[in-house]
Structure formats: C-alpha cells, structure tokens
Amino acid sequence: MKTLLTTILLLLSVIVKAQQSDILYIPSQKSLVASYNYKQIGTYVGGYYVTTFPQPYIYTTPLSIVNRVGLTYVNKNNTFSIMGGAYLKTYFDRVEMTPDVWVKIYPIRMLTGDKSNLDFAVGVNYMNGFRLGIGLSIPYWSIYR
C-alpha cells in the first residue's frame, strides 16, 4: 500500500505538469504529504499509509485515508516553501479540522543557488506540537528534459 500511494503521488506530478513536486514522509504520523506547485503557488495533500491490509470486515473510505489538504507557496529561488491548510481527522459522523502549518527548506538549492536540480526537502510542521518530515523535491526541468 505504501509503494502504491507513493507511486500514485509521484505519477500525479507528471500528469499535472507541476513546476515542482515534493513528497515528504512524516514518521510520527505514518503519513506521506505530496505538494505540487505551478509557478509559486500550489496545493498539497497528505494521507496515511498502512503496511498491512485491513481486516475483511473493516471498510475504509478515501476520506479516512486523506489526512491533510492545503495551499503552498514557494519563493522564486526555490529555497524554501510555506504550506498552510487543515489536518483532517475523520469520525463516523463528522470531520474535525485542525490548522496545519509547514515550513520546508531545500538545503542543496540554498547552497548552490541552482533551482533546477533534484533536492531533498526537510519540513517542519506545527499542529498541536512540532513534527519533522523528510523527502524528495523534483523540479519541473528534471522531469521534462
């Protein structure tokens, strides 16, 4: 399931022709967050992943897997990104939303100044405490060369 979700999120970046796509892994929540930026503004979506299949009597909907959505802004040099949105916690009869704020940096781009290369991303999340995420950032130019 984890590899399927990762593959879908990365293929989605090719389909939407994003200027930059990021995928982050948040170990404390066992979730993945993918962001897609066109020019400087974009969106992000996150979801839980499981490594085992649920029991046959448990029915899960896509809404119970998606855990965060929001908007993202990347500066012109592609050295940092700010994301803001909502963390979704689904219950049987309602959805509880909590503000979700991210700051991501791209260390290699900060040091080299070249915004067209692959880089890894380090994200710090604040939502009822701090969380750390690490992942990969793929710019438009490296996908469509």
As a whole number of angstroms, the longest Cα–Cα distance in the chain is 53
Whether pLDDT at 12 is above 70: no
The model's pTM? 0.75
Q: Average pLDDT for residues 47-70, to the nearest whole number? A: 68
The burial class, CB within 10 Å (0-12 / 13-18 / 19+), for 84 is: middle
Distance between CA atoms of 103 and 14, rounded to whole angstroms?
Answer: 24
**Can you list the domains of the chain with their CATH numbers?**
2-143 (2.40.128)
Phi-psi region of 9 (alpha: psi -120 to 50; beta: other; left: phi over 0): alpha
Cα–Cα distance measured from residue 21 to residue 119, given in angstroms and rounded to the nearest whole number: 11
Token output for 85 = 């949105």
Q: What is the pLDDT of residues 75-117, one digit of tens each?
A: 888 888 999 999 888 777 788 889 999 999 999 888 888 877 7
